[in-house]
Every structure is written in C-alpha cells, then in structure tokens.
Amino acid sequence: MNRKNSLYLNGINNWPDNAWMNTVKIRVLLLISNLLWMRLKRLCEVKSLILPQAKQDIREAVIWYNNQQNGLGKRFVAEVREKVCFIRQFPKASIFRFNDERTAVLNTFPYTVHYYVDGTAGSIVVITVFHTGINLERCESREN
C-alpha cells in the first residue's frame, strides 16, 4: 500500500462526517429504544380510577399544606400523582391492609393511598388518600 492510500485509510475515522454519522446512529438507536420502552411501559400499565372521596381527601390536604407553606400543596399533588403512576405500573407491589384493599405510602408526606385492583375491568380504583395519623375507624366508617 502506498503512502497516499495509508493516509486516506487512517484519516477516514477523523472525518467530521464519520463522527457525525456515528452520533446520528447513536441518537437514532436511543430514540428507538426509548420508543420501545414507552410502548412496553404502556402495555404494563393498568388504567386508574380515582373515586370522588379520594379527590376530596386530596383537595383538603392541598388546602391544609398551602396554608402551611405556599406551593407545598402542589408538591403534595405531584407526589400523589407519582405514587398513582407507580401503582399503575406495579399494582400488586403494595401490601394488603383490609380485605382486598391495598395501601401505598407516599415518600415525603405522611399519607397512604388506599386502592384495590379491579380484575374484571383491568384497572385500579383509588378509594381514598388518608393521613397516617387518622384513626382507622374513620376509614372503615367511610367505606360503609
């Protein structure tokens, strides 16, 4: 091989086009893998239904937290949404509390999300969102 060809072959990896093409290839592969992951995630998620009583519990907590500190209620709602998304992805990850009712504890706030898995509809039903300091008798009386 002559000197001219060896320079050409050694220099091809340093061309901007080649580096650019590798970057494009990597980005396309990442995009495809993200799309596949999102599709797989949707297949794993179940639908959710939040009962009016649970929505009322969330509203009351938001009002209380906003009275304590401006914007804290928004953080509370964000954490409840995050927990409901987790429940949708892994509906059987939380423990049984009562009969068929499961409870999931929020990470920051002292609240639990009470829900059950509706096998016939293929969804989760959020019954209530309770402060962990609330008497359980009140929880049972609301179910009746």
Q: Determine contact, residues 61/73, Cβ cutoff 8 Å.
A: yes
Task: Identify the pLDDT of residue 12.
Answer: 45
pLDDT means per 10 residues in the chain (144 residues)?
50 52 67 69 71 93 92 91 88 81 91 87 86 67 51
Task: Identify the pLDDT of residue 58.
Answer: 93
Sign of the Cα torsion 65, 66, 69, 70 reads: positive
For 98, counting Cβ atoms within 10 Å of its Cβ (0-12 exposed, 13-18 middle, 19+ buried), the class is middle
Q: 50 has which bridge partners?
A: 126
Phi-psi region of 90 (alpha: psi -120 to 50; beta: other; left: phi over 0): beta
For residue 37, which amino acid is it?
W
pTM of the predicted model over 0.75: no
- Identify which of 130, 82, 125, 124 has the alpha carbon closest to the alpha carbon of residue 107: 82
- Identify which of 129, 142, 15, 136 has the alpha carbon closest to the alpha carbon of residue 65: 129
Q: 128 has which bridge partners?
A: 114
